[in-house]
Amino acid sequence: MTSPYRYTLGNRTYNFKNLAELMAKATPKRSGDILAQVAASSSQERVVAQMKLAETPLKNFLNEALIPYEKDEITRLILDEHNKEAFSLISHMTVGDFRNWLLSDETTTDIIKSVQDGFTPEMVAAVSKIMRNQELILVAKKAKVVKSFRNTIGLDNRLSTRLQPNHPTDDVVGIAASILDGLLYANGDAVIGINPATDNISQATKLLKLMDEVIQKYEIPTQSCVLTHVTNTIEAIENKAPVDLVFQSIGGTEATNSSFGFNLNTLKEAQDAALSLNRGTVGKSVMYFETGQGSSLSANAHHNIDQQTCEARAYAVAKKFDPLLVNTVVGFIGPEYLYDGKEITRAGLEDHFCGKLLGVPMGCDICYTNHAQADQNDMDDLLTLLSVAGCNFIIGVPGADDIMLNYQSTSFHDALYARKVLGLKPAPEFEQWLEKMDIFSDMKNFILNKKMPLAFSKPLNNLLGEIA
């Protein structure tokens, strides 16, 4: 049977056996797709695939599931939750028409919001493959997603940060010092979130209590999270631990998530458990998800689908559970999947674009591993581009060097840079707290107070006195 995905250029006809192959070969070059043997064999084949993809009707994505409906619960989630009425506005379009419509001045934030339940992850992944970086930025800027728990994240001209005070031995004093350091640089409004070195329920509960005490004592309008397995958090809630947000790494196929040890029912149980605690003050979004291109390939669960499309499918999982935070850990998985700074930058922009179009509150861990062909200048570039694109939050690590996870991210200082050059404020509730605590001497221009704020200096001096 002849494939409908053929394209003739000159005297040569290119054949793509199905939509999955066309999508993979249209993807901008990246090492993970080459490793999976799904990438285009040449730049010419990639461009041809992009031209054919641009001609492909959006309806094809509803009639040709990349992973069979019967074999994958993420496919079932995507198709069962698809809103036909919302889709009707764009149902006549090709992928190329969709790109032009998204870029149009007439397609506003409100219009995108009214239609986005008609988008599928495969549609937004496809259109991203035929867009330049500046186009991904322009559309993502329009596709705002606002969520709340103890503060409000994702508003216009705001940039929030996750304060990540990881420690290689979970030393409480070391973690507390990093939290103080981050707060003094105005970080932490997205979440104060720890990746525990020792991952068990007892350790998670200990760290949750530490962060809860800090938040309560200083009346910080933010939320905490220990990034442990979702089943650990469910058990911690049953043990009456002070859980604000439930964390889980997620992927875009059922097999990927099975390799992580959960399914959609597990996430629903966790969401219900966290909501039962009723700890939010201005909102009820209680979930925090992390994603990253290459996780399905790493788990041998990619079904010969390119890694960027698998990543977009993960956002359907996230959307189902009304998360406060979702971030792509864009360079964390290593150069086998994203080889260098150029590939990391492109992937970060694609992930942010796809997540926002689907209605997911996207942030980004702008990062790389030490064996990748990337450096901190690449991170500066991506930080600036994502901040322009309206990214909800980034990560703040002391010195940009995570000494527990052994990778390079962005620092507390980097967030301050982005706020200064682009005039981006933290979440409004957190901004008021920063002003009350005298963190800045000049709030308007983001000039930090040279003196330790009184609320922190008193207990710190007492502690130092006890040590002396």
Annotated binding site for adenosylcob(III)alamin: 196, 248, 298, 404
**Cβ neighbours for 272, distance < 8 A, ≥ 6 positions apart:** none
CA 354 to chain CA centroid, Å, is 10
Which residues face 373 on adjacent strands?
Answer: 340
End-to-end CA distance of the chain: 82
Question: Phi/psi of residue 182, each to 5°?
Answer: -65, -45
Give dist(CA 304, CA 37) in Å, integer. Answer: 8
Rounded CA-CA distance 270/356 in Å is: 24
- Going by the annotation, the residues of the binding site are 162-164, 195-196, 248, 290, 298, 365, 404
Here the tokens at position 455 are: 């609320």
Pair of tokens at residue 183: 């707060």
* DSSP letter for each residue of 283-341: ----EEEEE-TTHHHHTT--TT--HHHHHHHHHHHHHHT--SEEEEETTTT-TTTS-BH
CA proximity to 141, closest of 157, 121, 120, 122:
157
Give residues with Cβ within 8 angstroms of 278, minimum separation 6. Answer: none
For the annotated binding site for substrate, the residues are 162-164, 195, 290, 365
DSSP H helices, 116-227, are 121-129, 133-142, 172-184, 201-217
CA triple 345-347-350, angle to 5 deg = 110
194, burial (CB in 10 Å: exposed 0-12, middle 13-18, buried 19+)? buried
